Structure formats: structure tokens, C-alpha cells
Amino acid sequence: MARSRNSYKVLNSAKFYDQQTGAYCKLNDSCWFLKKLENKTHYFLNTSHNQFQEMPKACFEATAARSKEHDFTSVQQQINNFDKEVNSENNNKS
């Protein structure tokens, strides 16, 4: 069986923080961020002061489940709120 390979984005901080490329949100006090790209929510890890690496949702969920360093208990609500706000903004632009 052939294995498919997923490609993930790397954004520099200027492009990541640019609202023209999509809304973003920091998750609690962690190095994880959400970014809306192409009408989808993507998970990014701030890997350095000037680079953000997109990560699979499963990777974020596994990290959140095991993390002893950060409190991810309210993150799902934060994700839901982010999606709701961004979708509302997109509907108002239409």
C-alpha cells in the first residue's frame, strides 16, 4: 500500500502575524497558535522567535493530552470561540 505524505507550512513571524494572511490566536500560555488559512483552522507551533511550523491536529491533541508544562483544559473552548469569531467575520464580509 502506498503511503501518502502530508506537507505542512512554515511561516515567518511577519507573514504569520499579518492579518491579511488570516486571523490567528495564541492558545493559552503555550507556544501553540491557531491560524485560519483557506477557510480552515490550522495548528502552528512557534518554533523560534521568527518561525511558525504547522503541525497536524493529532500532534496538537497528543501534546495537549500529555502536557505537564501547560494547562490545556480550556483550550477546546478557545478553539471553538476562535472558529466562531472568524466565521462570523467572514460572513460579515460577504
2 within some domain: no
Angle (nearest 5°) at CA 29 between 24 and 33: 25
Based on DSSP, count helices (H) and strands (E) in the chain, helices before strands.
3, 5
Give the span between the Cα atoms of 62 and 8, in whole angstroms.
18
Q: In total, how many domains does the chain have? A: 1
Sign of the CA dihedral running 70, 37, 21, 9: positive
pLDDT(21) > 60: yes
The predicted pLDDT at position 56 comes to 95
The predicted pLDDT at position 16 comes to 97
Q: Considering the entire predicted model, what is its pTM?
A: 0.85
3 within some domain: no
CA distances from 34 to 1, 50, 54, 81, 85 (A): 33, 16, 9, 11, 13
1 within some domain: no
